[in-house]
Amino acid sequence: MAQQLIVVTGASTGMGASAARELARRGFHVLAGVRRDPDAFRAPGIEPVLLDITEPGQVAALAARVADDPRELHAVVNNAGIQVNAPVEALPMAEWRRVFEVNLFGHIAVTQALLPALLRSRGRVVNISSVGGKAAMPTYGAYAGAKFALEAVSDSLRREVEPLGVRVVVVEPGGVRTEMAARGVATANRLATGMTPEQDARYGRLVQAINSLMSSGTESGLTADAAARVIAKAVMARKPRTRYTIGRDAALITRLTRVLPDRALDRVIAAGVRRHYPAATA
């Protein structure tokens, strides 16, 4: 494994940073993608690389770095992502496009750039999706939409390249204790200030409830290090499953989406959100 490379995108903090450390500990040389130099961290087996997955020049530089290395590329872990929550009606189109650029198109760009190396090494693509790629909560339209799309792209890619020796794996985390949820709440609150009075009357309490639910789910979730061990399993398993969940909440919700009709799932989700609604004001 010391002679094999792994690329991890979004490795500044959270699951990405933990996955980079875990994979380096297991003997890989990890190219850890960070968006800014101050976010770079160095440790044995970890080499930070400047990588904004929405910047074609930086993606091309990553591909060149891999091509110039005599070691094989074992896997790319597409982990970079942002969380943006707002009602469908109230989310500006620029934000919709930004979410899809980061959470979907950037992953496709990195995968396209590194597929020649993965085909040579018979490596694998590990796409970090979300339980939101299976069940779309209220205000999660953009985030879940990109994750649903990533799930579909992963299925299509798997059926294209597994006959050529490249494995494609999806990892679906539930609540994980990282900075992402806190940033998501801050973004949701910022976007809520841009709602019209009519939209605020319709959705204001819902946004507050989702923020509370998001925070509580994160606080009770797994650590980033525990999530990293699941990612490492997806990277290293000799015969990996097509999908891995992280956390009991993700395992439960993905099962429910397979067995419940839409209306029943609507009621389950509504009941979970209802417990977090703020008290109505006079």
Residues with catalytic function: 143
d(CA 19, CA 224): 8
Q: List % helix, strand, coil for the chain (3-state, nearest 5).
A: 55, 15, 30
Residue type, 276: H
Residues whose CB is less than 8 angstroms from the CB of residue 208 and which lie 6 or more positions away in sequence, other chains included:
276, 277, 278
d(CA 27, CA 24): 5
- Which whole-number Å values give the CA distances from 149 to 55, 56, 110, in the listed order? 20, 21, 16
- Which whole-number Å values give the CA distances from 34 to 13, 17, 95, 117, 234, in the listed order? 9, 9, 22, 21, 22
Q: Which two tokens stand for residue 34?
A: 């960070």
